[in-house]
Amino acid sequence: MTTMTPSPYRSTLPPTRDGFPQLLHAEWTKLRTIGRWTLTLLAAAVLTVLISVISATGASFQRAPVPSESGAAPPEPGTGPDGLIVQDAFRFVHQPLTGDGSITARVSGLTGEDGESPGWAKAGLIVKQSTKPSAPYAAVMITPGHGVRMQSNFTHDTAGSAASADTPRWLRLTRTGTSLTGYESADGATWQKIGTVRLAGLPDTAEAGMFVASPNAEEANASSGSVSFPTRSTAVFSDVTRTGGGGQGSWQNTDVGETPAGSGESRRTAGTSTSTFTVTGSGDITPHQPRLDLAVVGLSGSQLGLVLFAALGVLFITAEYRRGMICTTLSASPRRGRVLVAKAVVIGGATFGAGLIAAIVSFLLTQPILREKGHKLPYFPELSLTDGPVLRAVVGTAALLALVAVFALGVGALLRHTAAAITVVVVLVVLPLILVSGLPLSTAQWVQRLTPVAGFAIQQTTPRYDFTGQACLPGEGCYPQGPWWGLAVLGLYAAVALGLAVWRLRRRDA
């Protein structure tokens, strides 16, 4: 007797109106007519707002969040030429420079008090509008960890050679009108140009001279945060010469700004034809980067809200499998891939809309709370919904939640089991958010780059500068990759999950 093997279910019904617009309408009708799904969408938005407000309420501000060994308060930031909050503190040995001119020196021996300087300690030549903190400037310098650099107005950095600070280096800074050009040389005879910058509004008489800055040394890890302490570094400037008008008398010694390690020191040894200066300084010339990103805090509720959005994404497909309705759906539209794509568009669009409302409300409610807690100028910038980075963070949060929902839909279509699919999504998206704070810093940053949590980088609004040396800590909402790159990683996860689900649905029985 021959045993008949049943063939997989395939619809023999003629296709009905299964155009893509009709599919979208059908899936949207399913979503809005099932009450518990609508309630889940609403609950996810409310939870996002509620958790964001709770996080803002608990975010107390301390002027010195990083303890220092000396007990000295860090210098107060000011506003730089570009309107950004900046740090400007260093030892300055200077003379007035009127009109065009230049200053040249051989710089050597940049070392810290314990024999080592921070990688971004700086010793070099600078022309500054005045000795007032935050005034415009251009400088050429050597650093222990990053070679020769030319920097200006706190946010502009140009790399020179990779010469070590242990090797003497000749530096020159030349002024022509409002343009400053930096040069370097290994022997004082053959010069290489580093770059030219223009300082708008530079007065006819500016201050030119030598400087040393030594930023806080920082020890950081993902679990315990960061601890920093002030440092002082010393450099020797020999064969110092200058050209140009003004300031042919004595050199002035000034501690610009509040130096966290106390007053700098400088002494001069004059010879018959050259002058040698030994200069010790602390502080830094750098953009001020707050440890806390206020936009990230204001949108932090999305980290829990996404669980409900993900659950809805899973249920949007697994509920049909559980009740056997998927066969009816596929009978009405045999083009199976388009069914899943339509579901993705509907659940993604609905989640984006709810997430956008939740993100806007969260931001508007949390910013006044944070300001009341002390998170305001001069330590934190004033954030507005109309600011480009803030608008990107808010809209990006909605996109982030939509991609999580689509990712969950794909996982649900692959596993066809509600509990298993939600577990997988939580493990891949939520668990890394919890674990990164307890992992070694390098491991935590790789988790942030390679898992779906990379998408949360879209919420960052604090500019990150590679030349500041400040650690990027996961516990402070900092992601090592750029915002759009992080969202693209999450988008890739969603696309792969949905693509695999479409492949499986086409090849196997529903």
Instruction: Give the pLDDT confidence of 83-108 residue by residue, as tens digits.
Output: 888 989 999 999 999 999 999 999 99
Q: Give the mean model confidence (pLDDT) for residues 321-338.
A: 72
pTM over the 0.85 mark: no
Of 30, 63, 92, which is closest to residue 333 (Cα–Cα)?
A: 30
CB 447, CB 480: distance < 8 Å? no
pLDDT-above-70 percentage for the chain: 86
Q: Answer yes or no: is pLDDT of 179 > 90.
A: yes
Contact between 232 and 261 (Cβ < 8 Å): yes
Q: How many residues does the chain have?
A: 510
Per residue in 391-450, pLDDT tens?
999 999 999 999 999 999 999 999 999 999 999 999 999 999 988 888 888 899 999 999
pLDDT for 8 beyond 80: no
Residue 320 is classified by DSSP as H
* In the chain, % of residues over pLDDT 90: 60
Contact (CB, 8 A) for 294 and 459: no
pLDDT at 442: 87
Q: Which residues of 12-22 are buried (b: 16+ CB within 10 A; e: fewer)?
A: eeeeeeeeeee
Give the whole-angstrom CA distance, residue 356 versus residue 397: 7
Q: Tell which residue, 10, 11, 27, 14, has the closest CA to residue 508.
A: 10
Other CB atoms within 10 A of residue 46 CB: 16
CA–CA distance, 450 with 374 (Å, rounded to integer): 35
Residues ≥6 apart with Cβ < 8 Å to 1: none
- Cis, peptide link before residue 378, omega less than 30° from 0: yes
Residue 212, classed as helix, strand or coil, is strand
| Confidence at residue 62, expressed as pLDDT on a 0 to 100 scale | 59
User: In the chain, what are the domains?
Assistant: 20-62+292-507 (no CATH), 78-287 (2.60.120)
pLDDT of residue 261: 61
pLDDT, residue 70, reads 46
Per-residue pLDDT, averaged over 445-466, amounts to 92
Beta strands in 177-270 (DSSP E): 179-185, 192-198, 205-213, 217-221, 225-229, 233-245, 252-256, 265-270
Give the model's pLDDT for residue 13: 39
Using one digit for the tens of pLDDT, what is the confidence trace for 121-167? 999 999 999 999 999 999 999 999 899 999 999 999 999 999 888 88
Encoded tokens for 292:
């806390």
In the block, residue with structure tokens 């009905």? 16
Nearest alpha-carbon partner for 207 in 257, 242, 234: 242
